[in-house]
Amino acid sequence: MDSHTYPVTRTDAEWRARLTPEQYAVMRNHGTERPGSCALLHEKRAGTFSCAGCDQPLFESKLKFESGTGWPSFNDPVPGSVETTVDRSYGMVRTECHCARCGSHLGHVFEDGPPPTGLRYCINGVALKFEPAA
């Protein structure tokens, strides 16, 4: 993780107790789930996708779209919920996105999304929890 201090902090043991092994690998070690492996990829109900690490609301379902990549994709996050950093891993330069509240790795954002933003927030489904609208 970076040296930035987040409003929600936990020890490594606390993160391991809170997250499944797959969530821990993705969210705390910048991993990636297998494409098409998460049920949230197919979630189409109205509601909110929140951080599995700290419950911060991240994305509204109305901004979710089918990108064909195998990961849940969104046009835009809830304002102030997601921060970005430059990711130079694997010989590429990408924009990583992480939870602004706890710093957990969520995925990456690309400039190949549909209007109106032209952005595609490509998010690991295991990093998310879904709460249907009431």
φ/ψ (deg, to 5) at 36: 80, 5
d(CA 93, CA 91): 7
Catalytic (active-site) positions: 122
Q: What Å distances lie between residue 30 and 23, 35, 102, 120, 125, CA to CA? A: 10, 15, 14, 18, 13
